[in-house]
Amino acid sequence: MWSGRFSQPNTDLVLRYGESVSYDWKLYEHDIAGSIAHARAQRNAGMLTDEEFEAIRSGLLGILADIQAGNFSWKMQLEDVHMNIESELTRRIGSPGAKLHTARSRNDQVATDTRLYCRAQIDATLELLRDMQRALLLKAEEYAEVRIPGYTHLQRAQPVTIAHHLLAYVEMLGRDTERLSDCRRRVNVSPLGSGAIAGSTINLDRAAIAAELGFDTVTENSMDAIADRDYIMETLFCLSLIGTHLSRLSEDLVLWSSAEFGFCTLSDAHTTGSSLMPQKKNPDVCELTRGKSGRLYGNLVSVMVAVKGLPLTYNRDLQEDKEPLFDSFETISLALRVNAEMVAGMRINPDRCADAVSDPLLLATDLADYLVRRGVPFRHAHELVGKAVAIAVSTGTPLSRLTLEQFQAISPEYGADVHSVFNLDRAFALRTNPGAPNPDNTTRRLNYWKQKLS
């Protein structure tokens, strides 16, 4: 960093080691917006003339246009996005540019820029989350009547529907949306005016600056404002949890698209072949999504570790917050877009689903409930059904095809109507509690999400 304090410049190695402009240039739009708001406050405080403010504003907008057109040259020697823009501004307009940094530090400047960046990226991610929910919702509606086994421990458990299964992910992403929206409130607080650590003796209107930049309020402690990276860690956690949910969906689709399950077929556009085996159709999008969830976790942990031992306030370690932040937003953005596209192109195979859900063992718990309704305590009913299952397995007979005599040999509590249990329509009709895969419940929840996402 330049300064009259030093008698020799940094070596090339130190410059390379410390520069951040190779990645923090992405903050340019927010840096320029913050600088214009700061300059306006300087003018309102009588520190700039109208002409000086207009020169700064016009100069910054010219730099913005050049950057967006790809005509701006970033210089490593100037370390970061802030000094590159300020230096170029001063080169273009002269002394007014040198006044811009009055009453601010790169410390509150970078905190402001990253908050503005997080806010913009959160808003974009929220829309992508809704797109992903819409894709799942449309697929759930398309195959609402298709039934499949639900699994626990990856073993067939009880019957559910494709709609109910996909709606589970719509619910997860709904919580992600709420979580990220709540995080946005804590992001949207302006630290500009906190200076390097203790504010400034030149007092600008922080509230007016915050309002111009769209912040809800200003920070109340200058030391906390400079040292705080909670908003980045919270944002990274929210993105990591979105990654978790996408990864779980990916694993379901890896299983469903396998020959062993065959519940769905992923489109050719979202799968790849093998370099050796011509028959292969690999679910690479799903596998990459599983892998990228680990990348999201790593970004969160790297920032938490960088911050955990830092004394107040600013330490150069905090420079390490940006690459993980940028990478996580870019990763989750691409993951949400490609997964929404993949789900939209996915086809469910009703015949394979019907074959799998015809397994009468899926209704073993319904059989226990049948006994409970006949007055048998549940633990005893559980045991009696377990004995019936054991006979079915040992004799190779489907549970639903055991004779009435076989059932009643286990217990006289099995009535003549015992076989009525083995009817999927009945099984779904009885599941009327909120949250269960009853057709009416599913229709209500489909309509709820359609209205919410419209």
Map residue 151 onto helix, strand or coil: strand
400 classed as catalytic = no
Terminal-to-terminal C-alpha distance of the chain: 51
Nearest by Cα to 113 from 6, 229, 192: 192
Active-site residue among 7, 95, 153, 454? 153
Helix (H, G, I), strand (E, B) or coil at 160: strand
| CA–CA distance, 285 with 95 (Å, rounded to integer) | 54
Closest CA to 10 of 77, 80, 73: 77
Angle ∠(331,337,339) on CA atoms, nearest 5: 95
Count of beta carbons in the 10 Å neighbourhood of residue 252: 19
Catalytic residue among 22, 58, 274, 420: 274
- Give CA torsion, residues 16, 22, 23, 25, to 10 deg: 130
Inter-residue contact 360 to 399 (CB < 8 Å): yes
CA distances from 190 to 345, 359, 377 (A): 43, 59, 62
153 is catalytic: yes
Q: How far is CA 87 from the centre of its chain?
A: 37
Q: Which amino acid belongs to residue 367?
A: L
CB 226 within 8 A of CB 191: yes
Exposure of 178 by Cβ count < 10 A (0-12 exposed, 13-18 middle, 19+ buried)?
exposed
Which contiguous run of DSSP H or E holds residue 378?
Answer: helix 378-395
- Whether residue 405 contacts residue 414, with contact meaning beta carbons closer than 8 Å, is answered with no
Q: At what angle do helices 162-187 and 106-142 cross, to 10 degrees?
A: 160
Active site residues: 153, 274
